[in-house]
Chain A
Amino acid sequence: MRLQIKGICHSYDQVEALRDIDFGIEPGEVVALIGPSGCGKSTLLSIIGGMLTPTKGEVLICDQATPDGCLNPLTYVFQDFALLPWRTVAGNISLVLEDHGLSKTDRDARVAEVLEQTNLWDFRDAYPKQLSGGMKQRVGIARALAVRPAVLLMDEPLSALDAQTRILLLDEFAALFARTGMTAVYVTHNLNEAVRLANRVVALRRRPGTIKEIHTIDIPLAERCDGMPELVAHERALWNLIRDEAIAADKELENVA
């Protein structure tokens, strides 16, 4: 599936959040959205996912091709996991398959498949409150994979986790993207995550968010690893790109406070 973001502008009442956002997302590509706090990254992701109507502009699906058995082409992975506390791990995953006319056997098969993929099989009967943050996010990923999405929309999926878990899950995300060639839009504050996972990084200016630069990282995902000098160089370049914006945004936030 290929997406084209065309002339997106968005305002919340009188506050302009995004202005003239234009870029495309190619099949199999991971695009990271970075920028200072309040620059509209999550707003842009909500617009791409059809959860928010932009004030102006449109998101076009240029190529309708989706993976076999795709039930929800544009699928979210949430920062706060968004798991139903009254359902087990398997129940949370099954929930998103229940409205799509699948038989119970097919649903159970898909649930079992993603539980295996995400190493959650042993936790299938656990409730979210019994899981660590990292495990909860694994359930979030498993739930997203169960609908065989065309594009994964990930809204700071690691930001609610502790540092060690973040490193472990980042490796798992990198392996997942490298193995499946999945298309994804990945919102993050963390430049290390952006350079580990993204083929292209869209850097936004502070509010109103506009594109400052689209930075390409030409290293195959499978070859990337933590601390790789080329990635460190990309991370530094990105930091130089958004440093002034981050400082200015921080001062704006202080003024607001």
Chain B
Amino acid sequence: MSHDVTERRTESQGNASEASHVRFRATGFNPKANPIAAWGFFVVVIALWQLGSSTGFISELAMPSPVAVTKALWQLIITGDLWRHLGASLQRLVGGWIMGTVAGLLVGFLVGMFSWARSPGVAFVSALFPIPKIALLPLFIIWFGIGEPSKFATIAFGVFFPTVINTFGGVDNVQRNLIRMGQSFDLSMWSVTRKIILPGALPTILSGFRISSSIAIILLIAAEMIGAQYGIGALILAAGNLYQTDQLIAGVVVLSLLGLCVSWLLGRLDRWLLGWR
């Protein structure tokens, strides 16, 4: 018996002399943000773009160089055209987004909280959400005229549906035990809604804002291209019709910057309202 043990011990010591490290296997699947890489990527793309234009590899007519685009943008700024177009677009964007968001939040909360609103609300949203909203612009023009109201309505309608979906999804995802806790302490329905359901649904609602703001920008440009004198969409369309591709790309750059500003603002809102996370 003791001989066996000694033999086993020797064997195990022999194995130990050939020991190797346990291989680390949990690598990857953990992407991290790198702001330097993000900016670096843009710089490299713009540099390659400029290089392609300077060497004639990229046709100036098809795709103006970054320098030409910058000049066109500067021209738009100093003539005041940019502010006229951007001002008109921002008015439509903010107005339409607020209208759609307020209505969407209201309906989303009703659908999320009340049985009587749930089935009709979900059916209504499911039926109308997939419709490309720009297809309804002619109808809105008939209803509201060619002026501003039809553009506000198109943007509001487009924003409304993702807001409803995210709001009632957010309300649905609020932990039931928190609501029951509020009820068990005899909090009023208004208090439960305001102090438990609204903050609990806020992360989902805010992520819905990112989607709805992108949809709002897309619809804004589409609506302005169909019928507007001023607006970034109108600027881009006019530049395209006149083959002023530098102005066209300048308009696109403004849209991109507008998207970045909206994203930054929503990020700030996120940090302000969801700092507890």
Contact = CB atoms under 8 A, between A and B. Distances in A.
B276 A75 contact: no
Interface string B172-214: 0001011011111111100100011001100000000000000
Nearest to B187: A99
A147 interface: yes
Contacts of A143: 185
Interface in A39-87: 49, 51, 71-72, 74-76, 78, 80, 82, 84-87
**Chain A binding surface, main DSSP class:** loop
Contacts of B195: 84, 95, 98
A67 to B, nearest CB: 16
B186 A82 contact: no
B180 A51 contact: yes
Given A51-B183, A84-B196, A86-B199, A99 B276 contact: no
Contacts of B196: 84
A96 interface: yes
A82 B180 contact: yes
B185 A75 contact: yes
Of the listed residues B180, B200, B276, the one surrounded by the most CB atoms of chain A closer than 10 A to its CB is B276
B184 A51 contact: yes
Nearest to B180: A51
A173 interface: no
A82 B177 contact: yes
A82 B181 CA distance: 6
Contacts of A96: 185, 187
B255 to A, nearest CB: 35
Contacts of A87: 276
Nearest to A128: B276
B272 to A, nearest CB: 12
**Chain B binding surface, main DSSP class:** helix
Contact of A49 (B178, B184, B276): B184
Given A78-B177, A95-B195, A86 B184 contact: no
Nearest to B185: A96
Contacts of A51: 180, 183-184
A23 interface: no
Contact of B276 (A95, A127, A147): A127
A98 B183 CA distance: 13
B185 A72 contact: yes
Contacts of B191: 98-99
B199 A84 contact: yes
Given A85-B276, A98-B191, A127-B276, A80 B177 contact: yes
Interface in A1-57: 49, 51
A82 B233 CA distance: 50
A7 B2 CA distance: 70
A51 B196 CA distance: 18
A86 B178 CA distance: 12
Interface string B249-265: 00000000000000000
Contacts of B276: 85-87, 127, 129
A74 B184 CA distance: 8
A76 B184 contact: yes
Contacts of B274: 86
Please name the 5 residue pairs, one residue from A and one from B, whose CB atoms are nearest each other, closest first: A82-B181, A96-B185, A86-B276, A76-B184, A82-B177
